Amino acid sequence: MKIFILLLAVSLNLYTNAALAKKRAQSHASQQPISYATNAQAQDLAKAIAERQQLDVNWVLAQMKESTYQPRVVKLMQPLPAGGKKNWSAYRDRFVTPAHINAGVAFWRANQDVLLRAEAEYGVPPHMVLGILGVETIYGRNTGGFRVLDALATLAFDYPSPHPRREARVAYFQSELEQFLVLAKQANLDPKSFKGSYAGAMGLPQFMPSSWRKHAVDFDGDGKVDLWQSPSDAVGSVANYFKNYGWKNSSQIMPISVELENGVNEPTQYPADENFFVITQYNNSYYYAAAVIELGNAIAAEIARQKP
């Protein structure tokens, strides 16, 4: 009987260890990146991109093979729960902070000549450019850690299904993936080397690939556009973006007002002129545009306060 019990214990131990090993192997396998190498939709898009953009089809297919599914990107792109009220006061407090204002003043001091040159060339006041760069990345402190290739491929082929506008969003990110590959090829850079947001936005101003190709400028004159390491290029590109969308030096039209919800409290009636709506071309949100203006104004006020 003792021998039987001992053998049974050994067998159970071996079974348990085998089960645990199998579970660990399955867990490890589930954490392995899932490549788009065999995704039929990815292959079809690669061939179409190569034909439209006159790129080497083998090169485009190789980039698709290198791209991988990112579950965290899908999670971050999930639509917000329906029915909840927005809160302008809380939204503003995320961006108009002492840290943002002080960083904006420091950026102004380091790049004053560039900001003034951009104003002279594009007609966009420095504090509005500072507002954008502060809201987007706190002047380069947080430009994103996702591989742009992976983020765009994930959203192009696996955009979250609950989204009410999924079909349009898929088309948008497939187009951005195409623009990104063209951008990388023209710059002679490895697509895998680009890092950005979970949506594929890049650099200090968080330009999407199509915006980069349309609006980014070589404002420091070094022969290339670098929105990560060149504050000059970032400043000039934001100012050029606004100019291209119709920014006016001084709007002669009286502002209207837009309503910004404040949760359960009374909404704010926020003044909005033509330039306010130009800012919404950067991000289609009244709350975003108001935050950019508020941060820019706060930085301008602090710069004026610190002047001798």
Rounded distance between C-alpha atoms, residue 291 and residue 89, angstroms? 10
| Amino acid at position 103, single letter | A
> Would you give the distance in Å from CA 163 to the centre of its chain?
18
CB 197 within 8 A of CB 206: yes
What tokens does 195 get?
């890092």
Could you give the CA distance from residue 238 to residue 203 in angstroms, rounded to a whole number? 11
CA quadruple 3, 5, 10, 15: dihedral positive or negative?
positive
Q: CB 6: neighbour CB atoms within 10 A?
A: 10
CA distance 308 to 306: 6
Catalytic residue among 51, 66, 119, 136: 136
Among residues 132, 137, 178, the alpha carbon closest in space to that of 155 is found at 178
Q: First and final CA of the chain: distance in angstroms?
A: 95
The encoded tokens of residue 24 equal: 């660990």
Q: Give which of 180, 195, 159 is closest to 46, Cα–Cα.
A: 180
Phi, psi angle pair for 69, to nearest 5°: -70, 135
Residue type, 20: L
274 is catalytic: no
| Active site (catalytic) residues | 136
